[in-house]
Amino acid sequence: MKSTLKIDKSKRVGALDRRIYGSFIEHLGRAVYNGIYEPTHKSADDKGFRGDVLSLINELNVPIVRYPGGNFVSGYNWEDGIGDKSKRPRKLDLAWFTIETNEVGIDEFQEWAKRANTDIMMAVNLGTRGADSARELIEYCNGETDTYFANLRRKNGFDKPFGIKLWCLGNEMDGWWQICHKTAEEYAREATETAKVLKWIDPSIELVACGSSDHNMPTYGEWERTVLDHTYDYIDYLSLHCYYGNYNGTADFLARAEDMDRFIKEIADICDEVKAKKNSDKAINLSFDEWNVWYRTKDEEKSAEKWQIAPHLLEEKYTFEDALLVGCMLSTLQNNCDRVKIACLAQLVNVIAPIMTENGGDAWKQTIFYPYMYASLYGNGEVLSVNASSDFYKSKEGWDIPYLCTSVVDNKEKGELVIFATNRSLDEDMELEISLDGYEDYSLVKHIELYNDDLDATNERHSERVFPTERAIDAGSSVKLKKHSWNMLILKK
């Protein structure tokens, strides 16, 4: 199979915000306890954080992490996770039917974030609580005044503010499963008033309002219009969430990145529709703050024993096939960088995650770790609008799906042109012809390939079957992409 990729230096999508390589840690399953935090582990540091996990997270170079939820946040009292640990209450978590010990809260998480070299995307509870709790939380985190909650932070040992600059106004409030689920009108009013008080206290922050939990929600579209109609003047981003699974065979599964692309463009259009209605000069951009492959362990909490502490929940075992789709979705996010400024691979450790741990034992990389890592490390700069041509196949919806899924990033700082390319064909290798306009003095210097003959291959604790290899560079303008493979090509001057 032959495909072509025409790259023109003058045709650009826009500058890429590094926050699209963000992730997510929720108080769910073993994400926090026995994930990032395990004081008895041999690698634990002075605060109880697992050093082996921190090392793997630092390999990913994660720019921002959403916290503390997720569904969990809609029933969370943030005050339970500050101050003297011996006085913190154990509580029932109605989101996941577990017991929350509150050993880790914002006091600990902000310290973990520093050690992970990342920033925090803080979510506030707009389920059981609202603007009053949110204003107290931001004063605690960011306040510099001689007032109660800022002084409470100082009393707890943190003289300097945490300086959290990105805040989420609740989580998936359109979902019936959410604690204190709201109608669009109810949520929009609460979000508007919360946004106002948060920005009154700290005008430097950015705010994310809840969009639809999924584009198959019955209120999809109208939810966005109602929420934006109320919150437009106060927020900066609207959220999108979507997870994909293999329900119709591998070919259709790999086509789900095109569904993600349509979702993004539909929401961007709605944002622009409201902008025009309001005659506003302000553009609302997008925060795709939950995305991943997730289907094998969906609804697992419903059959699990209730009221455990840090049970094994939603621990998806990722295959090579999953890594291919994650690679395609990363390209989709890059190609929409003009509107998607933030994205969070959900989640980071143990729970539908690229990193897995054993309680008291090892930590290891799942298959999806690799496309995520390479995108984060090398996909920085300006995304180019390219002309890609390849054969195609039909998805279950009847869409034309090109076998070649690609994105191209111009990293001027490093003098690199980085091509991410997935061959979605299950049967044929691809000869990719690369044409350069404005980059004639560039040549291919590195080809990283992620490939396995077995689409169901997984990485286990002591057996890594899916890992990247560096291919030899051939002379000429074409590159061979193996059947069902993910690739990163680096061209330099």
Q: What is the pLDDT of residues 198-241, one digit of tens each?
A: 999 999 999 999 999 999 999 999 999 999 999 999 999 999 99
Across the range 37-59, mean pLDDT stands at: 98
Q: Is the pLDDT of residue 323 over 80?
A: yes
Q: What is the pLDDT of residue 316?
A: 97
Model pTM above 0.95: yes
Quote the pLDDT of residue 475. 74
| Mean pLDDT, residues 26-50 | 98
Q: Which of 282, 254, 228, 277 is nearest to 486 (CA)?
A: 254
The backbone region for 322, taken as left when phi is positive above 0, alpha when psi lies in -120 to 50, beta otherwise, is alpha
In terms of DSSP H, where are the helices of 279-392?
320-335, 369-378
Q: What is the DSSP string of 374-428?
A: HHHHH--SEEE--EEE--EEE-TT--EEESEEEEEEEETTTTEEEEEEEE--SS-
Q: Is 290 a catalytic residue?
A: yes
Identify the pLDDT of residue 140. 98
Q: pLDDT band for position 300 (50/70/90)?
A: confident
**Which residue in the list 79, 136, 193, 290 is annotated as catalytic?**
290
Rounded to whole angstroms, the Cα distance separating 198 from 392 reads 48
Mean pLDDT of the chain: 97
Distance of CA 341 to the CA centre of its chain: 11
pLDDT for res 299: 85
DSSP state at residue 427 = S
What pLDDT, on a 0 to 100 scale, did the predictor assign at position 301? 82
> Quick check: is 79 catalytic?
no
Instruction: Please identify which of the residues 38, 172, 315, 316 carries the catalytic annotation.
Output: 172
Q: Between helices 320-335 and 256-278, what is the axis angle to 10°?
A: 30
Beta strands in 157-232 (DSSP E): 166-169, 206-209
**Which run of H or E residues covers position 17?**
none
Output phi, psi for 370, to 5 deg: -75, -50
